[in-house]
Chain A
Amino acid sequence: MRSTWVWSMAVLALLAAACGSGADIEVADVWGRPSPSVATNGAFYMVITNNTEVADHLVAASSPACAAAELHESMMNDGVMGMAQVGPAGIEIPANGQTTLEVGGLHVMCIDKQAEFVAGERFDVTLEFENAGTVEVQAEIKES
């Protein structure tokens, strides 16, 4: 009985290792749109995966490409499009789940661009998670 249990645990561990890189938080497809230099601000989008059993929250972001960065959400109210900072809890990444920051929705708002957002350019972005701590990623500037 005992050895069956040990074996199944070993198999599960192997499967888990094969399925993911194992990081608690994985961030993919980080990108931003090219914009003219007269456009003061930019936005970064990405897909965040939480591989842990508890919900995590993206609570802050920063980048040398931005004088300041805020977590924002664009939303439609009665047909009027607005944009606002998310609440102090940040952006939730559900346990064993995924949150997508995308056009017309959640985004990292890059305030007062410090660099040219030209296609092909890459910028370092530092993400701060409540549980997972600091995660460094790179945003690619591209059309979509």
Chain B
Amino acid sequence: MTDTFAPEAEQPPSRRWLGLFLLLVPLLIAGLVFWWGFNRSQPHQFSGSVIQGLSAAPDFTLSSDRGPVSLSDYAGKVVMIYFGYTFCPDVCPTTLADAAAAVDSLSEDDAEDVQLIFVTIDPARDTADRIGEYVRHFDDRFVGLTGTEEEIGSVATLYGIYYRAGEGSEATGYLMEHTATLLVIDQAGNLKIVIPFGVEADAIASDLEYMLR
């Protein structure tokens, strides 16, 4: 009886480890493949509210320091639109910095298919030169637009953006209150997601990447 067990008992420890290894490797691979497939089958979780159905983003034309710019100039790209003002020290630069970091983290090909448009809601202070230089500080691919009070008002209305001048101090003058969401238009030209203030760069990047798939 003891003879039958002898070969195994005498098997060198290295061979026993090899056997265990050969058993574990396929299991590990199977696990990885399953996990990968499972992840891919999960729906993407957008960082903002998703607009259901088709909602064509209305075209508009405003002024930049490099001439007139229309939304339709960027047809086929994922376009982020943000309404803000350069006088704003907190919320607007934070959103622009996060959007810039998001675009920066994309592959070069993906980044080329993304455009950020910053529309000022304070045209009295934000000239085309000022808004242009302001947005290019965050990313030189970004575009900053201004116009007359009426032009800005009608574009904001088209996109459901509210703003008004609020009281400030002697030092600040008036301060603007505004809807501080990042609107994202997909490559087919439909308004797709509304990202609230405070969403960080990596979450914005993952939305952009998903929309470019």
Contact = CB atoms under 8 A, between A and B. Distances in A.
Contacts of A74: 90-91
Contacts of A41: 87-89, 172
Interface stretch (A8-16, A79-87, A130-138): A79-87
B60 interface: no
A81 B93 contact: no
B88 A38 contact: no
Interface string B174-210: 0101111100000000000000011000000000000
Question: Which interface residue of A38, A42, A77 has the most chain B CB atoms within 10 A?
Answer: A38
Given A81-B179, A83-B175, A85-B169, A43 B90 contact: yes
B89 A112 contact: no
Given A79-B179, A80-B179, A33 B93 contact: yes
Contacts of B90: 43, 72, 74, 83, 103-104, 107, 109
Interface of B: 86-91, 93-94, 97, 129-130, 133-134, 136-137, 162-163, 166-169, 171-172, 175, 177-181, 197-198
B168 to A, nearest CB: 8
24 contacts: A35-B137, A36-B134, A38-B129, A38-B133, A39-B86, A40-B87, A41-B88, A67-B171, A70-B172, A72-B90, A80-B178, A81-B91, A81-B177, A82-B177, A82-B178, A84-B166, A85-B168, A103-B94, A104-B90, A110-B89, A111-B171, A111-B172, A112-B171, A143-B97
A40 B177 CA distance: 17
Contacts of A77: 177
B178 to A, nearest CB: 6
B188 to A, nearest CB: 27
Interface residues of A, number: 33
